[in-house]
Structure 1
Amino acid sequence: MRVLTEAQIERFFNILNQASELIQKAKDQSYLDSLIETLSVVQDQDATNLELSDADTQKLTHICSGFNRSDYDSETLRKGIQMAILKATRVDNIQANYQITPDTIANVIGYIISGIFRGTDTISLLDPAMGTGNLLTALYNQLHNTLNLTPSISGIENDDAMFELAADSVEIQHIHAELFHEDTIQNVLAPVVDVAVSDLPIGYYPIDENAKGFATHSENGHSYVHHLLIEFAMDHVKKGGFGLFLVPSQLFQTDEAKQLLKWMQGKVYLQGLLNLPGELFQNTAAQKAILILQNAGHDAKQVDPVMLGEFPSFKDQKAFAQFLTEIDAWEAQDLK
């Protein structure tokens, strides 16, 4: 079955790639823009509105006619789109914020969420910086399979191209999602959910005026966008609900962390900080961790001990499985 699935992923990617390369050459534009147009053609099976020559329109129609939605499950489609976006980042030399959260990390985040919410009937998620929607849809598919329920998902993204890719991705996967094409820091009217989750962009937010309404804003100069997004996200989580964020491992070791810690006091509990394997990053400064926060209320309390540690190498399957067992025990004995 796995061989068949890998073959299907490759087959779907080849359709996307051939079509995108044709459009890219014909219109002399980026691979990313061509991929966005390809996803629309694949879904609508209509290439007539792209203003291509008759010959190219015919070729494109033939390529995309090889796609039959019923041949694929959602996870296969997600992975095919992921492969195409990864190619776009290489071909177009796209900025770091377009980088996709690796599936290994998404799987770990989904594993933690599954453990916390095992036995629940419903679960709702919000990603305040969803990018291309890969993490959000990966979690949707994983939670749908492990918890045997249909998650309710919402996402926010300001970048035009990334939002279009996210919207196309959820549509082609037949996932119902509430997506907002807005700047999160301008206080989007997003839903209140059980879990906020995000691979947060790292750096400074450029519009100081927009950040003033946040307790985590910097008193001097630009504010860290990842601090603002954590605050926004947890403000949209239910009492006792959780936030899981990919953050710099050194999150609490900067001068700006004072405002973040001040905001957290009495409002959210720091329940865990799990460093990802150092081998995934170019250097120590770039290392990231999974931050686990819980809103106060509904019998939530500060766990003792806080889950701290570093994942072993994902290549060391025995050590990795043992670490997951430790997380299971912590969730069952301490967190709950």
Structure 2
Amino acid sequence: MAEENMQKYYDQLDQATTLLKKSLGTSYLDALSENLTNIADGHVFVENGAPDEETVSRLEKIYAELRQLRLTPAQLKQAITVNIIKDQKVDNSEVNKLMTPDMIGLIASLIAFEILHSEGKNELNLIDPTVGTGNFLIEFIQQLQQAGDFKINAAAIDNDDGLVALSKSFSEVMNINLDAYHQDGISEWEVTDIDMAIADLPVGYYPIDENAAKFKTKSDEGHSYAHHLLIEQTMNNLNDGGVGIFIVPSQIFQTEQAKKLSEWMVSSVYLQAVLDLPSNLFASKEAQKAVVVLQKHGGNSKQADNVLMGTIPDTNQPKLFEGFKDQLQDWARNNFKG
């Protein structure tokens, strides 16, 4: 029944999005965002007679049918993510804008849970500075709240206004309070008082050299790597002792710009963990990613006696995965104090 209702939700939301896309003449992404906002608000938003009355009436009927399905938060999220995957096919999204798989959100939440548990914290000011579709952030928050009684204040940044709108509307339907900012994450942030950051970083060159000039991770020649600048920017904006959990290319420390990144890390942050993600999450060895955990100097922070390193086992190997969780617990208990 649950599977059937999730399929119904996906089909109905897809139908509503196709309707709104046609009526407003927008992309599938913009129509999906608007539908999610409408669903969260409980009514169809109309501006200057658009969408027209017939479309409004059909949308209201679909929204009423969606309300009848009564999905759990996890089922609701799954149904919406299938619509996001459809959007990425319809709109032919760039690789850097593709949705982060749920499994990566789960792994990041496990790491965060053990750190917060060791620090004795149940309140968290969280940011995702490259929020994209919002799936990584929402999965992370859902998993964290299932694992413990956390009060989470969430913020998000992205330079793509369509994705900012999607992440905001997605979070509203999921009942997550999110402050979303449309801006270049490498420019100055409005958000302050941040304890933790998570980011599945876009990889590539950053085109605005004058913005990159103030960063220690900038390249000496040509464009700098955007993911290096974003790591530095994010860590600079955290509170003392704040933690950054970054999804990065596995080869991050083996590129021609790695020296600048390593030099900055030694002087400004503690490198606490480098873990390769399970290889079955990626199509090829070149696409393989890792989790890097950094901690800002100050507060109770200190360099871990042993940086946690290795490859995270596939969750389809429960014994190995449980062993990883035990390792994670010991590492957090020994290196993060309240």
Corresponding residue for residue 167 of structure 1: 168
Change (3 A) 1:191 1:79: farther
Deviation at 1:168, TM superposition (A): 0.8
Deviation at 1:29, TM superposition (A): 4.5
TM-score with structure 2 setting the length:
0.91
Q: What does 1:22-61 align with in structure 2 at a 5 Å threshold?
A: 22-26=19-23, 29-42=26-39, 43-46=41-44, 48-49=46-47, 51-61=50-60
Matched residue type, 2:157: I
Matched residue type, 1:21: T
Distance across 2 between alignment mates of 1:47 and 1:64: 13
Q: What is the aligned-residue identity percentage?
A: 36
Corresponding residue for residue 18 of structure 1: 15
Matched, 1:195 2:196: yes
3-state SS, counterpart of residue 292 of structure 2? strand
Corresponding residue for residue 78 of structure 1: 77
Pairwise CA RMSD: 2.2
Distance across 2 between alignment mates of 1:223 and 1:111: 32
Corresponding residue for residue 220 of structure 2: 219
TM-score with structure 1 setting the length:
0.91
- Does the 8 Å CA contact 1:276/1:311 hold for their aligned counterparts? yes
Corresponding residue for residue 290 of structure 1: 291
Q: What does 1:113-132 align with in structure 2 at a 5 Å threshold?
A: 113-118=112-117, 119-132=120-133
Distance across 1 between alignment mates of 2:28 and 2:196: 34
Deviation at 1:176, TM superposition (A): 1.8
Distance across 1 between alignment mates of 2:193 and 2:75: 30
Q: What does 1:1-336 align with in structure 2 at a 5 Å threshold?
A: 4=2, 6-26=3-23, 29-42=26-39, 43-46=41-44, 48-49=46-47, 51-68=50-67, 71-118=70-117, 119-336=120-337
Change (3 A) 1:221 1:163: same
Deviations 1:176-232 (A, max 9, x none): 222211111111222231111100101011111111111111121111110011011
Distance across 2 between alignment mates of 1:257 and 1:329: 29
Higher RCO, Cα 8 Å, sep 6+: 2
Deviations 1:143-191 (A, max 9, x none): 2222202211111111011011011112222222222111111112222
Change (3 A) 1:29 1:182: closer
- Does the 8 Å CA contact 1:202/1:226 hold for their aligned counterparts? yes
How many residues are paired up? Answer: 333
Deviation at 1:26, TM superposition (A): 4.6
Gaps of 5+ in 2: none
- Does the 8 Å CA contact 1:45/1:65 hold for their aligned counterparts? no
Gaps of 5+ in 1: none
Matched residue type, 2:171: V
3-state SS, counterpart of residue 186 of structure 1? coil
